[in-house]
Amino acid sequence: MLASTAQTSFAQQQQTTAETPVGAETKEPGWWDQSKSKTLNIVDNGSLAMILSGYARHGRDTYTPERIAELNENAWGLGFSKSIRTPKDNEESLYALAISDSHFQPQFMAGYLHQWMRPLGSKYEAGVGVTALLISRTDYFSGVPFPGILPVASIGTRKSKLMAAYIPRISQNKGNGDVLLVFVRFDLN
């Protein structure tokens, strides 16, 4: 009886192996395929939102009062995003945003944002996350886009949020980085 069961199991395994095409593997998709699939899902199924930027706070310990007086802290700008909720109820977004930078010049940003969301009662929620983006500024690399990774936080509802991204000080020299960019996002769907 035991030998008969073993032969039947072996025969079923051989049949399954014979049905699988040669060279076909059942491996997980690579990071590129996963990223492409995630991006297409956000573009195809995400909710459209408008982003309005309006304030950039320069760290008072990093910049002198004279330098702050010369800088633009009214970082007015406009952008759009597409966002989806993950199965764990977190949020993923693709966005593009143009603002007036600290030197009153245009700054363009586009990227991916992931936030881990937590409910605050029945209507409100807060999130913390990270964004990977490309930034184009006239004072860095002659406007050629360069990559960045920044922390992000938000508070609000699913339809509208007050959000902030923090640009850390990138060197020991004062007067570089340490900027909090504040913006709002309104769902258009």
Q: List active site positions.
A: 58, 101-102
Shortest CA distance to 131 belongs to which of 93, 99, 169? 93
* Residue pair 74/100 in contact by the 8 Å Cβ criterion: yes
Four-CA torsion 100, 102, 108, 112, nearest 10 degrees:
-120
CA distance linking residue 80 with residue 59, whole number of Å:
27
CA distance linking residue 50 with residue 44, whole number of Å:
17
